[in-house]
Amino acid sequence: MYSQGIKKTIVLRPVKKKHALQGNLHPLLERIFLARGITSELELDRTLAKLPSPWLLSGMEEMVEHLIVAINEQQKICIVADFDADGATSCAVAIKGLQLLGAGQVTFVVPNRFEYGYGLTPEIVELVKLQNPDVIITVDNGISSIDGVKAATDSGIKVLVTDHHLPGSNLPAATAIVNPNLLDDKFPNKSLAGVGVIFYVLLALRSRLRDINWFETNQVKEPNLAQLLDYVALGTVADVVALEQSNRILVYQGLLRIRTGRCHPGLTALVEVSGKNPQTITAADLGFSLGPRLNAAGRMDDMSLGIQCLLSDDPALAKDIALQLDELNNDRREVEAVMKHEALTYLSEMKALDEHHLPAGVCLFDANWHQGVIGILASRIKDQVHRPVIAFAPAGKDLIKGSARSIPGVHIRDVLSDIAAAHPKLLSKFGGHAMAAGLSLKMHDYPPFALAFDEMVSKRLASVDLEQKILSDGELAEQEMTIEIADLLQNSATWGQEFPEPLFDGVFDVIQSRIVGQRHLKLVLRKPVGDLVIDAIAFFVDRPEHWLGLRQIKAVYKLDINEFRGNRTVQFIVQYFEKIA
């Protein structure tokens, strides 16, 4: 997407030439993989056999031991989920998986972000107690729920924590904790999403049940847990975690199930309402089409609706819920557009769009902003100003909630941790990752917090290159701009966060330009020296009318295939362009 006013430098992605991949890889593919740090074709293996052992995760023995007791005694289990797509898919995996493995009483609670906030809080424990459970399993949360875990254990409820968020200096006193980011944990993939963590717990549980002959003794068919991988793929991509090899395997195997019609009705319905072809669905489709529709439930209403969609075994009911999610997503887009316009107006009034006046860390607040959309807003503004950004919205009782997004080189959770250490009474609570975090503070503490945030970020920006760059895999020759090469690129790997889909650049004559929809720019391009004419489209262009009549551009693009009425043609998906003439 080209954003008006953001000038970027196109940089060739460096290739580690000292390595050479063995085998019969196409030279273009070899160059692309080497540029992504792949030094062996073994790293491209996407079979389930290449997944690391679940027993490498610390705390897994204790976790499985207590889950077997819960199954054998048919204890009541309540899943406490998070209200985003990772939390929703984690919840679905936990419920479906535990039922497949013999648990008979499994329910769930997901906090409504507008009433309870994030995680297993004492207030959520009171809500859970209405179900009279014996065991609480947290998914995609819990590692910072010290007070909530204590409240549950004081009430006689066992708490098993599965999470992937970074732990603080103190851990909750849970019965068992599985989190790849715990200190000294030996699991090689620190980037598992919450849905990946609970999937690994189920793998270990099934393995132990098999070892003790539980399935034969109880005359239960051993389940194929791969049937849960459509959920795992969606949650992993939607949570924008790094696609290390094990995550690439999980996502690829989930995509295979969707493409071959072996996914759950709820996910099938989400694919349908998003207008995607299930037979050719990609990881990018999960992130940009399915994920936002599922997330819309937690942002605009209640994630229980999204979880119900995922869990539904009735295709008609699933389709009905998916249509509701689609409507909520449309509402979210409208709210987001208004909030983004207001945020850019504030920045303009602050002269913040002038780099000489730009704060190192940007804080924005409006009393009318929607709490469920501030995360997206922070991400959009971060892309605009290329600085860490926190967007705040009212949370009631003189509290405001913030959602933070960062840039490479600035670990946002560490920034918040430093602020909390320097100003102990400033932050009510916080948590998150390197690139995203959430926090709460009192309204009257917003001005001093904004100053502290700017100061702490400023210290880190001294060692960060703030020039906006877009990494390219180089130019394509005309003979490489084919359907065959486009198919090869799409099918040879699972692309995503920190394993980016190939981008190419070049100078092109513009044969034709027109606006489609409201903000998309449709182009017909040709190399200055060449005969091949290719269609191209740039989505969500700011002021697209400004770019009509271009004669020549430099473009960065993805090589894509346009399918229309059974015909397949090559097209460029333009990610960035700048006018030459």
Per-residue pLDDT of the chain (581 residues; tens, 9 = 90+): 444 446 788 999 988 766 667 667 899 999 999 999 998 888 999 999 999 999 999 999 999 999 999 999 999 999 999 999 999 999 999 999 999 999 999 999 999 888 887 889 999 999 999 999 999 999 999 999 999 999 999 999 999 999 999 898 899 999 999 999 999 999 999 999 999 999 999 999 999 999 999 999 999 999 999 999 999 999 999 998 999 999 999 999 999 999 999 999 999 999 999 999 999 999 999 999 999 999 999 999 999 999 999 999 999 999 999 999 999 999 999 999 999 999 999 888 876 555 556 788 999 999 999 999 999 999 999 988 889 999 999 998 889 999 999 998 899 999 999 999 999 889 888 888 888 899 999 999 999 999 999 999 999 888 777 788 899 999 999 999 999 999 999 999 999 999 999 999 999 999 999 999 878 999 999 999 888 999 999 998 888 888 898 899 999 999 999 988 778 999 999 999 999 96
Q: Which residue has the tokens 């970020």?
A: 457
Amino acid at 219: Q
Q: Is 316 left (phi over 0), alpha (psi -120 to 50) or beta?
A: alpha
The pair of three-digit structure tokens given for residue 416, joined into one six-digit string: 């918040």
CATH 3.90.1640.30 fits 55-326, yes or no: yes
Q: pTM here?
A: 0.92
Nearest to 532 by CA among 481, 471, 467, 458: 481
CB 129 within 8 A of CB 157: yes
SS3 state of residue 191: coil
Amino acid at 280: T
Nearest to 103 by CA among 114, 112, 95: 95
SS3 state of residue 424: coil
CB 426 within 8 A of CB 445: yes
Residue 561 pairs with which residues in a beta bridge? Answer: 570
The pair of three-digit structure tokens given for residue 363, joined into one six-digit string: 């804080």
**What b/e sequence results for 77-112 when a residue is b if at least 16 CB atoms lie within 10 Å of its CB, and e otherwise?**
bbbbbbbbbbbbbbbbbbbbbbebbbbebbebbbbb
Cα–Cα distances (Å) from 386 to 183, 410, 446, in that order, read 31, 11, 22
For domain 9-35+473-579, which architecture applies? Beta Barrel (2.40)
Which residues, at least 6 apart from 307, have a Cβ–Cβ distance to it below 8 Å? 81, 88, 91, 92, 108, 110
CATH 3.40.50.11740 fits 350-461, yes or no: no
CB 361 within 8 A of CB 390: yes
Instruction: Check if 9-35+473-579 and 55-326 are the same fold.
Output: no
Cα separation, 86 vs 291, in Å, equals 9
Q: Which residue has the tokens 């269609």?
A: 535
Residue 176 pairs with which residues in a beta bridge? Answer: 160
Domain boundaries, the chain: 9-35+473-579, 55-326, 350-461
Residue 138 pairs with which residues in a beta bridge? Answer: 80, 161
